[in-house]
Every structure is written in C-alpha cells, then in structure tokens.
Structure 1
C-alpha cells in the first residue's frame, strides 16, 4: 500500500474562499488506497490553477483496502475535502447519488477514483458548459483499456444505448462529466443508472453535448468492471426506454397491448362461434379456443396493469411535488433582453 504524505504547503493551498462555491467534484471511491492522495491533489491543482472556488466530495463505497481510514485522514487535514462514508458497498450509482446529496456548488463534476480520468480536463468541461449546455460528457477517444473485456463490450453498449434512447454519444460509460446542479436535483438514481445519466438528463429536458478527454491506463489496483455487468446494463436500458416513452402515460403501452390482445381474442371467439353454429363442429378440443381464452385474459390483465401504473405514476409525481414538465426560463412582459 502507498503512504499518504500531505505537506503544509498543500494544506494551505487547499483553504477554500468564503464565497459561494462554483464547483463540486464528486468522486465515488471503492478500494483506491494508492490512487486517493494523487487524485485529490490533482483535482485541487487543476481547479486552483483556474482560480475556481470548489469542494471535493469523495464517497467511500464500502472499501476494504484501507481507503476509508485514509480518506478520513485526508479530510481532516484539508479544508476542501468532504468524505462521505457509506455503511457498505452499494455500487457506483448509489455512491454518486450520495455525493450529489452533499454538494454545495452550482456545477457538479464527476469522475472515477482510479486516476484514469484526468482532472486537468475539468476546465475544458466547465468552459463547454458555459456555452449554454446543461450537461457535458467526456469522450475517452483514445481509451486505455483491454480490447476484449472492456473496449468491445463498451462499444456495443454505447451503440445499443444510443439506439434505444435516441441520444447519440460516443461514450456513455465515461464518468468524467459536468452538470448544472439544478439538473441533478431533478434526477433519481437506482440500479446501474449512472451509465444512463445523459438519458435521464434528456428526460428532464437538458441540453447535452460531449467533448474528447484524456484517458490513462490504470496505475494502481485492478478494474471492478467486467462482462458480467452487461446483463444489468440491458435491464436498466429497458427501464430508461420505458421512462423516456411512457413515464407519464403508462396506460399508452399497457393499454395498447391489452387492446390488441382483446381484439384478437374476440375475433378468434367469433370465428369459433361461427364454426360451431354454422357447421355444428365441436370446438372444445381446439387449440384456438385455448388461445382465445388466453388472449382475453391477457387483455384484461394488461388493462389492469395500465390502470395500476397510472395510479402509481400519479402517486410518484404528486407525493414528491414533481411536475410533469420542466421550465427553462420565463420572460416577463416588458423585460429587457441581453445584448
């Protein structure tokens, strides 16, 4: 394990101005003992060089390699670092959500704790955000990862996510992103949804873009990702698709399939009844009769699911006071425009 050395000079540089914070950097951490000191210093150096008022929030996600104790020690020595310690390993999505719950800045930066994202790229994202975007995503154009276990699955996942969500980005999986704080406040994260943050932001009406960023080979430890995560990604992708299309109108999907099922069931029922009455043929042992009953029952069930989903969506929005729309701005009568 590495040794944490923190000079008095760095400690003095870390003192935050008393004015309002501009940037909150959220870093999920899981077993990154060797990386932590280098990462925190690199983030601070990048932001101080650009004269930004900032804070760093490191969320320890149930580390078992000593990262928790090291993080607490660094947080005690610095004034720009807040350590959020989770009770156990919940996953990257939960860690990011915990970090979002403790931010004080008007802009949020997220990045991984393994030093593969370069903190020196943070100003690039912030400058792009100033052009009027609500979210800027990093694109690891020259990615330094294993081709078979990381690059190929990632390319397939990016293509699938882009096809399903309609948001064409080169790199959904890059953790280095910049958000406006009010955008994050509207998003609730579950499962493995951190990969789908651009899609969730798009649902909230965000303006999204991406820029190329640097990516470094892992210096310490080993990757926590693998092919086994693909199944989770596919399941969450289906959730995002449903949220994009039918979050406020679930009856439109359940009702449609229910209607189709009922129509087919009724049509088959009339057909069998016609055969029975006109030709006097027994229909009791016909597979079509079973299909007719199944379709009718499925139609009723789908309609019932649709009604229940409508009630749940109303509860979801009304209990949280969440509107079904997002207002970007309001122009008052007689107000003077800029420029």
Structure 2
C-alpha cells in the first residue's frame, strides 16, 4: 500500500486527467460555519481545470444551518446543491446521502467545521488520478484539537484499527478524503462506520490502491465539537463489528459454527472421559462440576451452530435483496445537468 505522505501545500499537480469533481460536506448545527466554508471551497477551486459541484448535506440540524445552506446555494448558483435529511441520522448516514447524490467521477468528503482546509483538495485529487489510486485519505499530522485526552485515544485507536483491518493509515478519523466514485459507491455506510471507510473500501479494492496525504488542520473557530471522550468506547465496539464483517460478512456461519464446533468438541471430550470413568472405575460423577460444564458446552455448541445457520440465511437474503436505505431525503432536488456544474473560468458570485 502506498502511504507516502507529502507536506501540505496549496500547489495543485501540473496535469490532472479529465474528470468531474463532487465535494460532499455533511453538516449538523454548523450555522456559523456554512458561509465561511462555502467561500473557502470556492476560493480553493476557483481556478480548477474541470467541472465541480459542492453538495452540502443538512443532517437534520436544529439551529439556523438549513437557512444558511439554502442561502449559500442561492448565492453561488446551481453547482451548490443542498441535501436535507428529515431528521438527524448522524454523520455516517449524512455522508452516504452526499455520496449517493454526487455525480462526479471523483468524490471528496470533508467536515463542515472549518477544521479541514479545501485548499488540499486539488493536490489530493491529483494524486488520486495520477497514481491510479482509489482512495487518498487525509492525515492530520499536526492536529489542532488542543485536547490531549482526545489525541491519545485517537492514536491508540488508529494503531488498533490498522492492526486489525490490515489497512495501515496514520489517521482514520480525518474526514478529508478523495475517492474514485466507481469504488466508494460500491460501499454502503451505516451506523457510525464513517471512521472505517478505508477498511470498508479494502473489501472492494486492494489496499495497494489506498494512500494517505498530509493535510492542513485548523482549530475549530465556531460552534461546538460533536465528539467527546466517549467516542473511544464506541470506536472499540464498531471495530469489533468491522472485524466481523470484513472476515465473515459473506459467511457468518463459519464464525458462529466454528465457535460452536469448538465448544462441542470440548464438551464431547469431557462427557466421554466422565462416561469412561463411570463405566470402568465405577466412580461417582453426578456431583462433579465437569459434568455440568460438559453439558453446558454441548448445549452452547448447538446454540452457536443454530445461530450460524440463521446468520447464513440472513446473509443470503441481504445479498440477494440489497441493503436498505439508511436515511430519508426531504424533497430531493434534481438540478439540470447542464447548469449544475461549476465550469472552468466561470465567474464567482459577489
């Protein structure tokens, strides 16, 4: 896997293959950040050589974010599109909604809190296309979070995730990522799995086509962070789920069945030994804890094997019918294809 990182600069590659770019930004209660974010994106992509669009996803905000998003769309034009979710479905579902709405060949995701810098987008996209990669993940090498209690668990989690998933990145938590659309659209995100997108992507592409790039990171200026120290415990639980799905998503019966067979063998050996002891020595085994343990293991073995069979059945239903949508869009907007892209040389709204 190519993980060579270069210092963050605003300089874009000299030559980028033709493409259309979609920038996806999920936002929840970020009213003060909407206008500055839209301005920074337009400043960073003002001289971009190819058509691009900005997709702003309102994740059921309860403050003035929806109004600010609509104002930004009216101000800049149809290449700024707003996707409004009916309620707060959390960041993963909001990101999936933006990915589904994106029409570009390349999709870039970033946070809406102004901590990611759009100036890194051209360089990341250039590396993605010029090096024939499927994902370029941002690496906040010089983080500006300010909270040591957040940085230390984050570093531990990153190393743990890399070891378990086999996708070795320094920063799984950075939302600034550049994807090849044909690959990311084959991955369905749900729950709180946005932290593990590189790992999920490794289920449809080789880790050799995943790289990381040092990006600029700013301290939060407006609003409040949506993350706390409790996120560490959720990451551990999510990591267990990721490990299970990466290894056994298509064959859950092997996971549960393997445990069940192992317990059944141990329980069978215990009961066989006790039966031989009773038959050949006449020893009393009725009060032995091993007898209870043996029966417990046999019963648990049947339960695990039965669970494996049910899981296999559910997996077949899932893969044959397709995944259910993880969000609901309120009044989806279908812009005209010809006018919904920011074209090279197009003047910005004042």
TM bracket (short chain): 0.7 to 0.9
Give per-residue Cα distances to partners, 1:36-56, cap 9 Å, x unaligned: 111112112222222231111
Q: 2:303 is matched with which residue?
A: 301
TM-aligned CA distance change 1:54 to 1:72, over 3 Å: same
Q: Which moved more, 1:82-91 or 1:128-137?
A: 82-91
Q: Distance in 2 between matches of 1:105 and 1:48?
A: 17
Q: Which runs of 5+ in 2 are unaligned?
A: 1-17, 324-350
Which residues of 2 match residues 272-291 of structure 1 at below 5 A? 272-291=274-293
CA distance in 1, matches of 2:156, 2:217: 19
Return the alpha-carbon distance in structure 2 between the equivalents of residues 164 and 319 of structure 1. 29
> Secondary structure in 2 aligned to 1:132?
coil
Q: Is the 8 A contact 1:158 1:171 kept in 2?
A: yes
TM-score by length of structure 2 reads 0.83
**What pairs with 1:58-77 in structure 2 (closer than 5 Å)?**
58-77=56-75
TM-score (norm 1): 0.86
Provide the C-alpha distance between the structure 1 equivalents of 2:123 and 2:292, rounded to a whole number of angstroms: 63
**Aligned residue in 2 for 1:136:** 136
Cα contact 1:21–1:55 (8 A) shared by 2? no
- Structure 1 residue 204 corresponds to structure 2 residue 209: no
For structure 1, which runs of at least 5 residues remain unmatched after alignment? 1-19, 322-339
Aligned positions, number = 302
Superposition deviation, residue 304 in structure 1? 1.1
Q: Which residue of 2 aligns with 1:159?
A: 159
| Segment of structure 1 superposing worse, 224-233 or 108-117 | 224-233
Q: Report runs of 4+ in structure 1 exceeding 3 Å deviation.
A: none
* Shift of residue 147, structure 1, vs aligned partner: 3.4
Shift of 1:310: 1.6
User: 1:40: which partner in 2?
Assistant: 38
Question: Against the structure 1 CA distance between its residues 21 and 72, is the aligned structure 2 distance closer, same or farther, given a 3 Å change threshold?
Answer: farther
The answer to whether the 8 Å contact 2:154/2:232 transfers is no
Paired residue for 1:224? 226
In structure 1, distance between residues paired with 2:273 and 2:227: 55
**What pairs up with 1:1-339 in 2 under 5 angstroms?**
22-77=20-75, 78-130=77-129, 131-206=131-206, 207-320=209-322
3-state SS of paired residue (1:97): helix
**Cα offset, 1:311, TM superposition:** 1.6
Residue 114 of structure 1: how far off its partner (Å)? 0.7
- Partner SS, residue 222 of structure 1: coil
Q: Distance in 2 between matches of 1:192 and 1:275?
A: 53
**What do you get for the CA RMSD once the two structures are aligned?**
1.5
**1:128 Cα offset (Å):** 0.8
What's the CA shift for 1:146?
Answer: 2.2
Q: 1:66 and 1:21, CA in 2 relative to 1: closer, same or farther beyond 3 A?
A: farther
> How far apart, CA to CA, are the structure 2 residues paired with 1:103 and 1:255?
41
State the structure with bigger RCO (CA 8 A, min sep 6), 1 or 2: 2
Give the distance between the partners of 2:107 and 2:98, measured in 1 at CA: 10
Quote the offset at 1:270 in angstroms: 0.9
SS in 2 for 1:104: coil
Which residue of structure 1 lines up, in the alignment, with residue 13 of structure 2? none
| Aligned mates of 1:21, 1:44 — CA distance in 2 | 18
* Residue aligned with 2:22, SS: strand
CA drift of 1:21 comes to 6.8
- Shift in Å, 1:151: 1.1
Mapped to 1, the partners of 2:251 and 2:62 lie a distance apart of: 44
Instruction: Tell me, yes or no, if the aligned pair for 1:28 and 1:112 is still in contact at 8 Å.
Output: yes
Displacement of 1:187 after TM fit?
Answer: 0.8
The superposition leaves residues 242-280 of structure 1 with CA deviations (integer Å, 9 ceiling, x where unpaired) of: 111112222222222111111111111111111211222
Distance 1:252 1:151 in 2: 37
Report deviation, 1:281. Answer: 2.1
